Structures are given as C-alpha cells and as structure tokens.
Amino acid sequence: MLRQYVYISTADGIGPAEIALILEACQRNNAARGITGLLLYNGRNFLQLLEGDVEDLSWVMRKIEADPRHGGVSIIEDISIATRACPDWLMRHIRIADQVSERRATLDAELPAEIEPNLRRIILNFAALN
Ligand SMILES: Cc1cc2nc3c(=O)[nH]c(=O)nc-3n(C[C@H](O)[C@H](O)[C@H](O)COP(=O)(O)O)c2cc1C
C-alpha cells in the first residue's frame, strides 16, 4: 500500500556539497526501495516528501532520523495515496529562490500538480519562511 510522508527537521548551515551527498544516497537507496519524493531546504529547516510502500518508508525514515546532519525530525503528514505525486523523482531537490517574495511563485511552478491542495499550501508556506 502506497503512503506519503512529509516531515520537517532542523539543520543549520547545510551547504551545496552536503546536499549533493544526501542526494547521492537518495539515488542509491531510493531507487532500490521504490521511494520517490522531493526535498526542500530553506537554510534552517528541511522539508521532505517521501512516497512508497510502508515497509520501505519505515526503513528510510530510520536512516534519516538517525542522521546527525539534522535533528528534530517531525512528521507533519502521513497519508495513504492511490498514486504517487512524484513518480519520476527518486528525490528531487527543489531550490528555494533567494528572494522571499519570489519563493511562492517559483515553487508553485515546480511542485507537481498531483500534490494534494492542502499539502501544497503547507509546502508553499514552509518555503516563504526564512
Ligand atoms: C534531510 C535529509 C534527507 C535524506 N533523505 C534520504 C532519502 O530520501 N533516502 C536515503 O537513502 N537517504 C536519505 N538521507 C541520508 C540518510 O540519512 C543516510 O545518510 C543514507 O541513507 C545512508 O546511506 P548509505 O547507508 O547507503 O550510505 C537523507 C538525509 C537528510 C539529512
């Protein structure tokens, strides 16, 4: 059964090199586990959407929660889904625009249309924070 998790976490000063390492692990593991999703970082917090089978999501969440690069992992959405919102993204890092005023519009254009409207609002609000 497919589920979709969204969590937020706290991490100061994560640079592009660290993000690249995280994405490398995603390419390796998420492909093998059938996990897809997206990752946002606003300079202080991550927001990650993960979708896949429950067993696979539990497996990856254990790794993610134990990762010392961030803390305070808190799941804000855990829902059953019929189809994936991000079927083609093993883990897509969506860059948040530098200008706060531009963040909603640029992100709105990049988020998949299949994301449920309420969740879309949550993600857009997250991106507007700094
Ligand atoms: C914000 C964040 C998101 C992450 N997302 C994933 C993920 O989707 N898949 C994954 O395998 N690892 C992810 N990681 C990395 C894991 O915590 C862990 O370092 C990695 O899975 C180890 O992979 P390895 O055992 O193949 O070396 C993430 C780490 C952070 C900090």
SS (H, E, C) 67-90: CCCCEEEEEEEEEECCCCCCCCCC
Which stretch of DSSP H or E encloses residue 5? strand 2-10
Task: Give, for ligand 1, the residue of 5, 14, 29 to mutate: max count of ligand atoms closer than 8 Å to Cβ.
Answer: 29
- The pLDDT, as a whole number, for residue 90 is 95
Residues 65-77 pLDDT 10s:
999 999 999 999 9
Domain holding 84, by residue range, is: 2-128
Coil, strand or helix at 50: strand
* Closest by Cα among 123, 22, 13, 8 to 73: 8
Q: Of how many residues is the chain composed?
A: 130
Res. 129: pLDDT tops 90: no
Q: Count of domains in the chain?
A: 1
Distance 55 CA to ligand 1 centre (A): 16
- The mean pLDDT value for 110-130 works out to 93
Res. 130: pLDDT tops 80: no
Residues 7-66 pLDDT 10s:
999 999 999 999 999 999 999 999 999 999 999 999 999 999 999 999 999 999 999 999
Q: Residue 54 contacts by C-beta under 8 Å, 6 or more apart in sequence?
A: 1, 3
The identity of residue 104, as a single letter, is: R
Task: Give, for ligand 1, the residue of 45, 67, 75 to mutate: max count of ligand atoms closer than 8 Å to Cβ.
Answer: 67
The identity of residue 119, as a single letter, is: L
- The pLDDT, as a whole number, for residue 4 is 98
| 126: confidence class by pLDDT, cuts 50, 70, 90 | very high
The CATH number for 68's domain is 3.30.70.100
